[in-house]
Amino acid sequence: MIQARIKKLREKLLNHSIKGLIVSKPENIYYLSAFSGEGLTIITDEVNYIITDFRYVEQAKHETTGFEIVETRPGVSIFSAAYELIKELNLKNIGVESHSLTVKEYDELSDICEGVNLIKTEGLVEDLRIIKDTSEIAFIKSAQQITDKAFEHILAFIKPGVRELDLVAELEYFMKKSGSKNTAFETILISGPKTSLPHGVPSERKLQRKDFVTIDFGARFKGYCSDMTRTVIIGEPSEQQLSIYNAVLDAQNKALEAIKPGLKGKDIDDVARRHISDRGYGNYFGHGLGHGVGLEIHEAPRLSPNVENVLLPGMVVTVEPGIYIKHFGGVRIEDMVVLTEKGCENLTHSEKALICL
């Protein structure tokens, strides 16, 4: 898999008349080499290099194949080590990931690389990462399996008087015990009126009867993320709560039925958005319908108004409509799917009918 990715990258470099690429974004380094430590990767048309320091040399040798490991000398910056290698390879131009380097880092690299033409690139590796291969899909499925189990586990702890932060601690502890290296992102677990905040922060607030409780969370397995949101209620829902929940659930189901290769991101967003608007809640759905998931929790493609990207088999995206009413509360339901030749496979298996606890 790694060699196939590098081959595709080399073809892209050739099309851009670039002799090599300095890869600095950690997710891209991992994608191309399986190296999870600190350092840089240089991909050329013949040989691949990992530049790192003493702390990670043994790790790099263990995690990677097909790479020459270059150890920086004490007191020599990683950019200086990269320049020495570039000179040795007689590379007159080399690409850099402009979206990954800070201004200070780019200026430092430019000052060091005298006589070398640094070509700013953006998204060369990310464009490859949009389509997941079979191993990536397997890792994402494993991450989601942990997430599904964690949701089932946490339901027993959701009751009046329990703090949001205590539920977060229990949820994340269970995921790590179940095989998640760490969480895919900071867990969102909020209750009551706070559920009107799409990215609300868990606090010491204690759950109360009649509260909506929204949980947006994910595991990480072999570097790959999962992402799921469920909203439950403590006690019986009011008519308005039930109306909001059903509007979101129906909108999501319609989008899941519609999603398939060949459509644009905005087409799927429109399916869910029109349904929510028809129910009278159009002003309360303020974010896009979904986003790509992989080594990063938010990556291409997007399902959002005005987004023209065409969906293709192998893309992994979330489908997460929501309704958020200030001072009242909100509902979001999120599944993660992989695009197939004819439609999609839903990787999320947790219950979606409203759970009353």
Q: What is the pLDDT of residue 46?
A: 87
pLDDT at 1: 86
User: Can you give the pLDDT at residue 65?
Assistant: 92
Question: pLDDT value at position 114?
Answer: 87
Express each pLDDT in 325-337 by its tens digit: 999 999 999 999 9
Domain with CATH 3.90.230.10 in the chain: 134-346
- Return the pLDDT at 268: 98
The reported pLDDT for the residue numbered 224 is 98
Low-confidence ranges of the chain (pLDDT < 50): none
The hierarchical CATH code for the domain 134-346 is 3.90.230.10
According to CATH, where is 3.40.350.10 located in the chain? Answer: 2-129
Helix H, strand E, coil C: the string for the chain is: CHHHHHHHHHHHHHHCCCCEEEECCHHHHHHHHCCCCCCEEEEECCCEEEEECHHHHHHHHHHCCCCEEEECCCCCCHHHHHHHHHHHHCCCEEEEECCCCCHHHHHHHHHHCCCCEEEEECCHHHHHHCCCCHHHHHHHHHHHHHHHHHHHHHHHHCCCCCEHHHHHHHHHHHHHHCCCCCECCCCEEEEHHHHHCCCCCCCCCECCCCCEEEEEECEEECCEECCEEEEEECCCCCHHHHHHHHHHHHHHHHHHHHCCCCCEHHHHHHHHHHHHHHCCCHHHCCCCCEEECCCCCCEEEEECCCCCCECCCCCEEEECCEEEECCCEEEECEEEEEECCCCEEECCCCCCCCCEC
Phi, psi for 250 (deg, rounded to 5):
-65, -40
CATH class name, domain 2-129 = alpha beta
The pLDDT assigned to 259 comes to 97
